[in-house]
Amino acid sequence: MTKFTPFSSRMVVIPIDNIDTDQIIPARFLKITTKEGLGDALFCDWRYDAEGKPKPDFILNKPESKKCQILFAGDNFGCGSSREHAPWALTQYGFRAVISTSFADIFRANSLKNALLPIVVPREIHAELLKTASAEVKVDLASQTLTLADGRAVQFPVDEFSKHCLLEGIDELGYILQQEAAIADFERQHPAPINALA
Amino acid sequence: MKARTIIEKIWDNHVVADRPGVPSLLYIDLHLTHEVTSPQAFDGLRQRGLRVRRPDLTIATTDHSTPTTPRSLPILDKVAAAQVARLESNCKEFGIRCYGLGSEKQGIVHVIGPELGLTQPGMTVVCGDSHTATHGACGALAFGIGTSEVEHVLASQCLLQKRSKTYEVRVEGALKPGVAAKDIILALIAQIGIGGGTGCVFEYCGSTIRSLSMEERMTVCNMSIEAGARAGLVAPDETTYHYLAGRPHAPNGSAWDIAVARWMQLPSDEGAAYDKSIRIDANTLEPMITFGTNPGMGIPITGAVPDPNSLSDPLERDSLSRALRYMDLAPGKPLLGHAVNVVFIGSCTNSRISDLRNAARIFKGRKVHPGVRVMVVPGSQQVKEQAQAEGLDQIFRDAGADWREAGCSMCIAMNGDQLEPGEYSVSTSNRNFEGRQGKGGRTFLASPLTAAAAAITGKVTDVRELM
């Protein structure tokens, strides 16, 4: 993973609450065995018509959305299925952060493992951002700040370990594997209750 | 010692390491895997030159992209066929037991875990699937994970996790006839909303939960995620032990007695504190049905579709308006009598033998309404065998329903079973999201009883009229 650096971007605004992972990437795209090729299918059923042509009025199809790196969405973003294909599709489109008032637990965990930063802002800030949606905002993970168009910096929460991994561009598994001695010790003290191979 | 909930006890029993600034390293007792969320994880192992640390603690099956057509037929979808084949080859390469197509133990991952006695009280259970909470019915802390975490478990048998809040869901009283376990969980989600349990683990307790069978508890726990809770569980009791005894992977002989003694320590201590609590009065529950595009949009079957104008929050009002537009429903009108095109009885929520028995009670001696397509999809090959031994398949077939092979089927619509655009279904599955059961399809979620009633009448029906 590459290191998560500060960036500025305008936002793609989809101000809908409870956007579920089936909308982000419908299940029929989950038959693949790789992670690739999902960016074009992002929000597929909202983005394309019955013939597969882009709907001109859907925001992802508008020219001004092309280089946006931030998705702005309603409350409880990413609810539903645990599919990691959702953050894969979002990052393959080019998003590096999603702003909402809250995120579903599994989606948040998956996003943090894929250099997609879930940014939780208070409701009033969310409402203000919606009013000034065409302006550029700045994301700085190191200081955990979202800088609004008028220069105000809003703090957002990130757990310490995820932040470290994102800033350094490292993944969790490396850390887990370093805990081998503790894992082996735990296994010695706790014999497995089952043997699936038996 | 401080009084603890069962959630805290299971957590504490599985912490491998707790270091400052790092989430807890949690040991995983059982890992279930399937064709859809695992191939990229196995690729990750290969890229890093890692093996599966504990192949004895992972079990695989095919369910999601697996067709429910006769097993003698090939998988027509080449991409799905390749995915199913990849699971088999990955399991072979890494030494994992796979109950794949053709196995007599194949089935929906959350049906076969408890069925084989693999899921046991006090365990940590994970799977790359959000409905892993189902296993909480056995008194396990069970939660869904993404593919990166599937790789972590395969490589290390551990996950880095932050402790969740505890949420007591107390259900008291007796269910009225025609009201099912599904209605309890749909009522809970309608009350607290689909984000109401975010950051929490539910403990379902109270006299109603105690009176439920294990399979009914699985239905309740299964949909914990639809309220945002990553896990939901029921403390083990005699019902649990009775269900587990004699299952293939359950302990036996003196090991059984030792295990039961250990499991009896699990229930929450007297006076244990929860971060949140809610109480549901089972006496007042009606059969439930959803009208919208998330599982929280549910009403009693005799109720009316709510009016967006009654909501003050603009985004909430937009969400409801949007849902009603997608569903093509008018606010203020009842759902009763609304025509349906398809009835789906199956999924990890409601495809176990007791679900099929309940549906069969309604189908028996009746015919499916002309023009309604009815699919009955057992959760596993073993459920299918049992249903056939009891003659349930014949009841379904005689009525005009389609009796199919085990799998996720139309719950996820990535296996050939799906709605056509604009069609309405009454489904016993867990999600009514836009397009969930097929692009443009519209889903009403309900219990197997309510679904069976709709199959007979061709419209949304109060099953109590047919009982």
CATH of the domain at B393: 3.30.499.10
Same domain, B108 and B175: no
Q: Are residues B42 and B150 in the same domain?
A: yes
> Residue B258: which pLDDT band, with cuts at 50, 70 and 90?
very high
B177 shares its domain with B218? yes
Chain B CB contacts of A196 under 8 Å are 30, 55-59, 96-97, 118, 249
Of B56, B162, B322, the CB nearest to A195: B56
Question: Distance, in angstroms, between A57 CA and closest chain B CA?
Answer: 16
Q: Which of B137, B161, B185 is the last residue of a domain?
A: B161
Mark whether B153 and B206 lie in a shared domain.
Answer: no
Final residue belonging to a domain, choices B130, B161, B192: B161
pLDDT band at B83; cut points 50, 70, 90: very high
Gap between the Cα atoms of A72 and A94, Å rounded: 14
The mean per-residue pLDDT over the stretch B330-357 comes to 98
- Give alpha helix (H) positions in B294-337: 314-327
pLDDT value for B185: 98
Kindly state whether residue B378 falls inside one of the protein's structural domains.
Answer: yes
Q: Which of A176, A178, A179 is most worth mutating to test chain B (most B CB atoms within 10 A of its CB)?
A: A176
Nearest-CA neighbor of B424 among B349, B351, B338? B338
- What three-state secondary structure class fits A91? helix
Please indicate if any CB of chain A lies within 8 Å of the CB of B2: no
Q: Are B99 and B11 in a shared domain?
A: yes
Q: Which residues contact B112 (CB under 8 A, 6 or more apart)?
A: B59, B61, B99, B105, B106, B118, B380, B382
- Residues in B closer than 8 angstroms to A102, CB to CB, are 195, 198
- For residue range A110-119, list pLDDT tens digits in order: 999 999 999 9
pLDDT at B327 over 90: yes
As a whole-number percent, the residues of chain B with pLDDT over 90 amount to 99
- In DSSP notation, A105-169 reads HHHHHHHHTTT-EEEE--HHHHHHHHHTTTS-EEEETTTTEEE-TTS-EEE----HHHHHHHHHT
Whether residue B202 is found in the same domain as residue B239: yes
3-state class of B168 per DSSP? Answer: strand
Give pLDDT, residue B313.
86
Kindly state the percentage of chain A with pLDDT values over 90: 97
- Work out the number of other CB atoms within 10 angstroms of the CB of residue A17: 24
- Say whether pLDDT at B320 is over 90: yes
pLDDT above 70 covers what percent of chain B?
100
pLDDT exceeds cutoff 90 at B315: no
pLDDT value, residue B231:
98
- Interface-testing mutation among B160, B201, B249, B417, with chain A (most A C-beta atoms within 10 A): B160
Multiple choice CATH, A7-189, 3.20.19.10, 3.20.20.70, 3.50.50.60, 1.10.760.10: 3.20.19.10
Residues B43 and B157 in one domain: yes
**CB-closest option in A18, A30, A110 to B148:** A110
Give, rounded to a whole angstrom, the gap between the first and last alpha carbons of chain B: 51
**Confidence bin at B355 (pLDDT 50/70/90):** very high
B53 vs A150, A187, B28, B109, B461, CA distance in Å? 52, 11, 12, 21, 51
DSSP state letter for B426: E
Write down the pLDDT at residue B232. Answer: 98
Same domain (yes/no): B32, B141: yes
Domain at B243, CATH number: 3.40.1060.10
Interface mutation target, options A16, A23, A33, chain B, most CBs of B under 10 Å: A33
Nearest of B214, B316, B229 to residue B275 by alpha carbon: B229
Q: Could you give the strand order of the β-sheet that contains A153-155, starting from the edge strand earlier in sequence?
A: A7-9, A137-140, A145-147, A153-155
Of B17, B82, B97, the CB nearest to A182: B17
Please report the pLDDT score of residue B314 as a whole number.
Answer: 86
Do both B306 and B278 map to the same domain? no
In the beta sheet, which residues pair with residue B374?
B343
**How many domains are there within chain B?**
3
Model pLDDT, residue A169:
95
Task: Indicate yes or no: CB of A75 within 8 angstroms of CB of B195.
Answer: yes
Shared domain check, B210 and B152: no
User: Nearest CA of chain A to the CA of B444: how many Å?
Assistant: 17
Of A45, A79, A186, the CB nearest to B195: A79
Interface of B with A in 78-137 (CB under 8 A): 79-80, 82-83, 86, 95-97, 118, 120, 123, 128-130
Whether B148 has its CB under 8 Å from any CB of chain A: the answer is: yes
Judge whether residue B201 has pLDDT over 90. Answer: yes
Q: What is the mean pLDDT of residues B211-219?
A: 98
Residues A79, A70: Cα–Cα separation, whole Å: 19
B208–A contact, CB cutoff 8 A: no
CB-defined contacts A:B, below 8 A: 211
Cα–Cα distance for residue pair B357/B449, rounded to 1 Å: 10
Chain A residues with CB-CB distance to B419 below 8 A? none
Nearest-by-CA chain B residue for A29? B414
- What are the domain boundaries of chain A? 7-189
Q: Looking at beta carbons, which residues of chain A come within 8 Å of B120?
A: 193-194
B421 shares contact with chain A (CB less than 8 Å) = yes
Residue B1 within a domain: no
For residues B134 and B173, membership in a common domain is answered with no
Nearest CA in chain A to B162: A159
pLDDT of B152 reads 98
Q: Judge contact between A85 and A30, C-beta under 8 A.
A: yes
Domain limits for position B250: 165-284
Please name the member of B80, B152, B436 whose beta carbon is closest to the beta carbon of A31.
Answer: B80
> Does the distance separating the beta carbons of B155 and A27 come in below 8 Å?
no
Give me the mean pLDDT over the B200-207 stretch. Answer: 98
Residues B304 and B448 in one domain: yes
pLDDT at B324: 98
Could A173 and B147 be called an inter-chain contact, meaning their C-beta atoms sit closer than 8 Å? no
Mean pLDDT in chain B? 97
Backbone CA torsion sign across B72, B73, B78, B79: negative
Residues of chain A with pLDDT under 50: none
Residue range B95-125, pLDDT digits in tens: 999 999 999 999 999 999 999 999 999 999 9
Mutant choice from B43, B198, B408 vs A, greatest count of A C-beta within 10 A: B198
